[in-house]
Structure 1
Amino acid sequence: MMIHLPHDDSECGWYQALAPRTACPTLHGECQADYVVVGAGFAGLAIARRLAEQAPEARIALLDAQCVGQGASGRNSGFVIDLPHKFALEHPDPAHKQKILGLNRFAIARLERLIENYAIECQWSATGKYQGAVGERGLAYLEHFESLMRDLGEPWHSVDGQQLASVLGTHYYQRAIYTPGCYLMQPAALVCGMADALPENVTLYENSAVRSLNRHGKNWTLYTDRGSVSAPTLLLGTSIFTREFGWLKNRLLPVMTFASWTRPLSDRELQRYGGQFNWGLTPADHAGTTLRITQDRRIMIRNTYKYVPRYGSSVRDDVRQHIRRDHRHAFETRYPELAEVPFSHTWGGTYAMSRNFTNFFGKLDEGVYACACDNGVGAAWGTVSGTMLADLALGQESTLLADIQAVTGMPSRNPPEPLLGLGVRSRIRLARWQSRGEL
């Protein structure tokens, strides 16, 4: 069994902006553990920390194929969203949505405590989020979002174009809805900070890709290029890569989304920009453009989705350059007065979606547990699902565990290739064409 590994580009702006960090050692030789966790993103870090807290005498091994922060968790747009997201917000059962809201807020509170306790510098801020509309299609989605928010009973308010321009520094948007419960952060800084503050009974092995695994008696043994680790309990915080271990095959869709950002704006450029710092906007139309300005003066554009059955290997350099040109057009359309400001980085990140928009959480096999398929909201969901997965493996019971079991399920089965690829690519192209006015 040979596992297909992450193949991420080296241009993730969030990661490149960090000060140099000394990676933990790779796995060498044979070792034993009580629990082995694979994937050191939001989910895997949460799993390992919770196991360590609840079982302080246990030996916990945490493996990642890359350096922490280089994978999907360090590549998102830096939103930690409290509300049920996109299709989850349309669920007909109000109790279902309230459970998701409570789970996400647990995650936010847990992340905030860690950031405070360990003084993690990650641009963490309770700034809320704008959901913006450019044209008629976006405004129609925004009206639908308003009705869903009224049903949910959560605070929000409408922001007209003029008010919005004073925040965003652009008159490109007609209107937005502001919700106060979202947090912004620097994702690579956050996951690296949490990795460096793991409890003493967690041993983190970076650059230790799992090549194969098998079961010997009651133990699972995972093999890397230079060593192996055995444990009776295996917990996977591997999202889309869960299928590489032999589980949830034909149920997860690997999708990559892309972002570009500028170098930090100069004082003179900031005067021309004229907006505020440290805000985030997601599109009312799901296929539109996400927009941010960071605390360190960078403007970020994120749009464009690709179906990537071979993960990063599916995206050629000429495709990346084309995406960068699309981002450039979106940037200059919004900020023509900053047309001379260059992009410093363009990057992609792979995540898992399911055709029925269902997250997986639970037991896969004897001694094997996983949380997978965040459907694009990995920071909050990875944190809470990882924490609760550790509780499940330890036999703990709680209202939160019952809630996450109630709102998750089995991702639906995918059709075989090449039908799957044809269908997903056609759907992405159609969504892009329909949303062209919102890009």
Structure 2
Amino acid sequence: MNNKSVNLPLDDSTCGWYSALNDLPAAKRLQGMQRADFAVIGAGFAGLAAARRLAEQLPQARIILVDAQRVGYGASGRNSGFVIDLPHKFALEHPDPAHKQRLLSLNRSAISQLQGLVTKHGIDCQWSHAGKYQGAVGPRGQAHLEHFAKLMDELGEPFKWVNGEALADVIGSQHYSQAIYTPGCYLMQPAALVNGLGCSLPENVELLEESPIQRLERDSNGGWILHGSKGQITTPKLLLGTSIFTQEFGFLRNRLLPVMTFASWTRPLSDAELARFGGQLDWGLTPADHAGTTVRMTQDRRLIIRNTYKHVPKYGRSTSDAMREGVRNDHRKAFLARYPQLADVPFTHTWGGVYAISRNFTNFFGELQDNVYASACDNGVGAAWGTISGTLLADLAIGADSNQLRDIQAVTGMPSLNPPEPFLGIGVRSRIRLAAWNSRSEL
């Protein structure tokens, strides 16, 4: 088994979503020798859902959920706040209609699950059934929109074209030529949602934060020993909701690609600035060309710009203040192109988040080896996928069966092997630069 110490998360401290949280409970950390019936590493969407499901199915079991950071501080609290029902762009082009319908059903089950938890526990996270716009700036984006409309027709899903002034009335910008609106997406404040999910776990889940697991070891009974700096957890069954960091524990090595995306947001707009903005609150727009710019207006009046992708082989250690400053400047250009009337409104935060993609755009779900299970590689659509895959991973670990479990097994597989370094890094960086160049008119 892997005896090497793992490379731990090193996220920046400038995430706007996390900074907006209030009254966080004190962190409970791993101390001493602990035993659990199940241990779950990673308290993002997948780990939280797995721990909750285990606890609900086995109320007498002791479940320990452990994270290297605070809940909401990692990737699950750093996205742009979309919970998307539609399959990802690449999955939408899958030749098997049944494959796409399975993905759609799984995503919608996750949304229903999250909505139920938000309502039941009163989680204050700006949860909203707002739908989503997919926007085009120029001819390249319009061609992507027409292709998307064709895929929606084939899938039998509703959508609406939105043009000109009707779009500007919503988003406060004349920058876009047209958009397609799809109604199934929900919006939220991701750090608040994840934190709320962590605070509302069943009583038989013990959440340990700021407790990085540095090494895994097999015990003499075929179970696992999780080594932290100030304690250990012994468990017969281990579930990994660790996304890109799964490879740090010796699994799926050379199959996952760590990519970081970046976002910046403004302070809340004043009444006068909101009047100049001229649009509505609480909407989200993703680019028709996937390498373009995502824009959101939150319920609390903040505009968000997200673009720029970086290959980060050392995760947070691959970034720097200078890199973030360059990203912030790029975001500023995109912001001013869309909102010249708000040129005096500053950004207050710029942050990045690491996620895992695979070269064949395949998600891993299942048993990695005896008594260790993982959901890894969400390919950039983590909120819904993490929630449903974590839930079903718990079912798999306890031997349950369902149509949904068979569905997720049918649509997942093994991420393809990556070429060795330095060829991998050269190739990924070249692909990112080419995508940015081709999409420059949509940025």
Give the TM-score, by structure 1 length. 1.00
Q: Equivalent residues in 2 for 1:152-171 (5 A)?
A: 152-171=155-174
Q: Where does residue 288 of structure 1 map in the other structure? A: 292
Q: Where does residue 325 of structure 1 map in the other structure? A: 329
2:387 matched to 1:376? no
Which of 101, 116, 124 is the aligned partner of 1:113?
116
Q: Where does residue 29 of structure 1 map in the other structure? A: 32
Which of 210, 213, 227 is the aligned partner of 1:207?
210
Which of 416, 419, 424 is the aligned partner of 1:420?
424
Post-superposition CA distance 1:309-361 (Å, at most 9, x none) = 00011011111100000000100110001000000100000000000000000
Q: Measure how far apart 1:20 and its partner are.
A: 3.0
Q: Where does residue 275 of structure 2 map in the other structure? A: 271
2:379 matched to 1:409? no
Which of 95, 98, 123 is the aligned partner of 1:95?
98
Contact 1:23/1:67 (CA < 8 Å) preserved in 2? no
Q: Where does residue 13 of structure 2 map in the other structure? A: 10
Q: Equivalent residues in 2 for 1:232-381 (5 A)?
A: 232-381=236-385
Q: Equivalent residues in 2 for 1:30-179 (5 A)?
A: 30-179=33-182
Q: Where does residue 437 of structure 2 map in the other structure? A: 433
Structure 1: distance between partners of 2:97 and 2:421 = 37
> Partner of 2:213: helix, strand, or coil?
coil
Structure 2: distance between partners of 1:410 and 1:55 = 29
Q: Measure how far apart 1:123 and its partner are.
A: 0.2
Q: Measure how far apart 1:162 and its partner are.
A: 1.6
Structure 1: distance between partners of 2:173 and 2:74 = 32
Structure 1: distance between partners of 2:120 and 2:316 = 35
- Matched AA of 1:289: T
Structure 2: distance between partners of 1:366 and 1:265 = 53
Q: Measure how far apart 1:58 and its partner are.
A: 0.6
Q: Where does residue 231 of structure 2 map in the other structure? A: 227
Post-superposition CA distance 1:3-46 (Å, at most 9, x none) = 00001000000000110302331100001100000000000000
Q: Identity of aligned pairs, percent?
A: 68
Structure 2: distance between partners of 1:245 and 1:360 = 15
Structure 2: distance between partners of 1:103 and 1:211 = 33
Q: Where does residue 386 of structure 1 map in the other structure? A: 390
Structure 2: distance between partners of 1:10 and 1:22 = 18
Gaps of 5+ in 1: none
Post-superposition CA distance 1:254-273 (Å, at most 9, x none) = 00000000000000000000
Contact 1:120/1:190 (CA < 8 Å) preserved in 2? yes
Give the TM-score, by structure 2 length. 0.99
Post-superposition CA distance 1:118-143 (Å, at most 9, x none) = 00000000010000000110001001
> Partner of 2:126: helix, strand, or coil?
coil
> Partner of 1:292: helix, strand, or coil?
strand
Structure 2: distance between partners of 1:401 and 1:113 = 20
Runs in 1 of length 4+ with deviation above 4 angstroms?
A: none
Gaps of 5+ in 2: none
Structure 2: distance between partners of 1:195 and 1:326 = 34
Structure 1: distance between partners of 2:400 and 2:82 = 30
Contact 1:168/1:276 (CA < 8 Å) preserved in 2? yes
CA RMSD of aligned residues (A): 0.5
- Matched AA of 1:391: D
> Partner of 2:28: helix, strand, or coil?
coil
> Partner of 1:6: helix, strand, or coil?
coil
Structure 1: distance between partners of 2:367 and 2:281 = 43
> Partner of 1:405: helix, strand, or coil?
helix
Aligned residues: 439
Contact 1:23/1:206 (CA < 8 Å) preserved in 2? no
> Partner of 1:211: helix, strand, or coil?
strand
- Matched AA of 1:232: P
Structure 2: distance between partners of 1:24 and 1:297 = 30
Post-superposition CA distance 1:47-91 (Å, at most 9, x none) = 000000111111100000000010000000000000011101110
Structure 1: distance between partners of 2:216 and 2:172 = 52
